[in-house]
Amino acid sequence: MKRKGIVVALALGMMVPALHPSQAATKEVKIESISFSGSRVPTTAEEMSKPFSTASVVVKYTDGKTKNFPLTYKQLFKTTDRFKMSNGETFSAGTPTDYYGDPITDKSVDGKPVHYVSDAPDANSLLRPMKDGSLYLVSHYEYDSLDNAGNPAWRRVPASMTLTKLYQNMKTGELKIATVDKIDFSTVNGLWVPCNGSLTPWNTHLGSEEYEPDARSFEFDTSDKPSQSTAHLKDFAKLYFDDEKKANPYYYGFIPEVFVSSDGMTRVVKHYSTGRRSNELMVVMPDERTAYFGDDGEYTMLFMYVADKPRDLSAGTLYAAKFIQTSAENGGAGNLEWIKLGHATDKEIKRIIDKGIKFSDIFEVSNEPKEGFTPVKQYSGQGANYGKIEYLKLKPGMEKAAAFLETRRYAAMLGATSEFNKMEGLAVNAKDKKVYVAISDISKGMEKNNQDPTDHIQLPKVKAGAVYELSLEPRQKSTAGEPINSEYVASSMKALIVGEDLAQPDAYGNKANVNKIAGPDNLSFSEDYRTLFIGEDSSQHINNFVWAYNVDTKKLSRILSVPAGAEATGLQAVDNRNGFSYIMSNFQHPGDELDHFAPTAVKLEDVKKAINATYGINQAGAVGYIQGLPNIQKLQEELKKQQKAQQSKKKK
Transcribe 529-565 into DSSP letters. TTEEEEEE--SS-SS-EEEEEETTT--EEEEEEPPTT
Mean pLDDT of the chain: 94
pLDDT > 60? residue 22: no
**CA 486, 490, 496: angle at the middle one, nearest 5?**
150
CA proximity to 156, closest of 60, 56, 68, 232: 232
Q: SS3 for 27? A: coil
Q: SS3 for 148? A: coil
Residue 242 placed within a domain: yes
Asked whether 139 and 121 are in contact (CB, 8 A), the reply is yes
Which CA distances in Å does 18 have to 24, 68, 179? 11, 19, 42
Instruction: Write down the pLDDT at residue 420.
Output: 98
Instruction: Write down the pLDDT at residue 14.
Output: 38
Convert the pLDDT of each residue in 534-546 to its tens digit.
Answer: 999 989 999 999 9
pLDDT > 50? residue 574: yes
Q: What does R_g of the chain's alpha carbons equal in angstroms?
A: 25
Instruction: Write down the pLDDT at residue 6.
Output: 37
What distance in Å separates the CA atoms of residue 359 and residue 250, rounded to the nearest whole number?
9
Residue 162 placed within a domain: yes
Average pLDDT over residues 577-598: 97
Higher pLDDT, 646 or 386: 386
Categorize the per-residue pLDDT at 64 as very low, low, confident or very high, splitting at 50, 70 and 90: confident
Lowest mean pLDDT among 10-19, 36-45, 240-249: 10-19
What distance in Å separates the CA atoms of residue 280 and residue 303, rounded to the nearest whole number?
12
Convert the pLDDT of each residue in 624-633 to its tens digit.
Answer: 999 999 998 8
What distance in Å separates the CA atoms of residue 213 and residue 203, rounded to the nearest whole number?
30
pLDDT > 60? residue 141: yes
Instruction: Write down the pLDDT at residue 11.
Output: 40
Going by their DSSP bridges, the two strands 333-345 and 489-498 should be labelled as antiparallel
The sheet that has 66-70: what strands, in order across it?
A: 31-37, 56-61, 66-70
What distance in Å separates the CA atoms of residue 643 and residue 652, rounded to the nearest whole number?
15
Asked whether 289 and 472 are in contact (CB, 8 A), the reply is no
β-bridge mates for residue 423, sequence order: 439
Residue 638 placed within a domain: no
pLDDT > 90? residue 4: no
pLDDT > 60? residue 21: no
State the Cα torsion 217-222-227-231 to the nearest 10°: 100
Instruction: Write down the pLDDT at residue 648.
Output: 74
Residue 281 placed within a domain: no
Q: SS3 for 348? A: helix
Categorize the per-residue pLDDT at 645 as very low, low, confident or very high, splitting at 50, 70 and 90: confident
Residue 464 placed within a domain: no
Residue 181 placed within a domain: yes
- E strand spans, 266-348: 266-271, 279-284, 290-295, 303-309, 312-327, 333-345
State the Cα torsion 10-11-17-23 to the nearest 10°: 110
What distance in Å separates the CA atoms of residue 393 and residue 414, rounded to the nearest whole number?
11
How many structural domains are present in the chain? 1
β-bridge mates for residue 83, sequence order: 91
Report the residue count for the chain. Answer: 652
Convert the pLDDT of each residue in 166-202 to its tens digit.
Answer: 999 999 999 999 999 999 999 999 999 999 999 999 9
What distance in Å separates the CA atoms of residue 124 and residue 14, rounded to the nearest whole number?
30
Instruction: Write down the pLDDT at residue 222.
Output: 78
Average pLDDT over residues 334-344: 98
What distance in Å separates the CA atoms of residue 406 and residue 292, rounded to the nearest whole number?
18
Instruction: Write down the pLDDT at residue 652.
Output: 66
β-bridge mates for residue 70, sequence order: 56
pLDDT > 90? residue 292: yes
β-bridge mates for residue 305, sequence order: 291, 318
Residue 154 placed within a domain: yes
Instruction: Write down the pLDDT at residue 650.
Output: 72
pLDDT > 90? residue 491: yes
Domain that holds residue 198: 76-264
Asked whether 379 and 306 are in contact (CB, 8 A), the reply is no
* Three state DSSP letters for 597-637: CCCCCCCHHHHHHHHHHHCCCCCCCEEEEEECCCCHHHHHH
Residue 579 placed within a domain: no
Lowest mean pLDDT among 23-27, 455-459, 474-478: 23-27
pLDDT > 60? residue 20: no
Instruction: Write down the pLDDT at residue 633.
Output: 85
What distance in Å separates the CA atoms of residue 393 and residue 380, rounded to the nearest whole number?
17
What proportion of the chain, given as a percentage, has pLDDT over 70? Answer: 96
Instruction: Write down the pLDDT at residue 640.
Output: 77
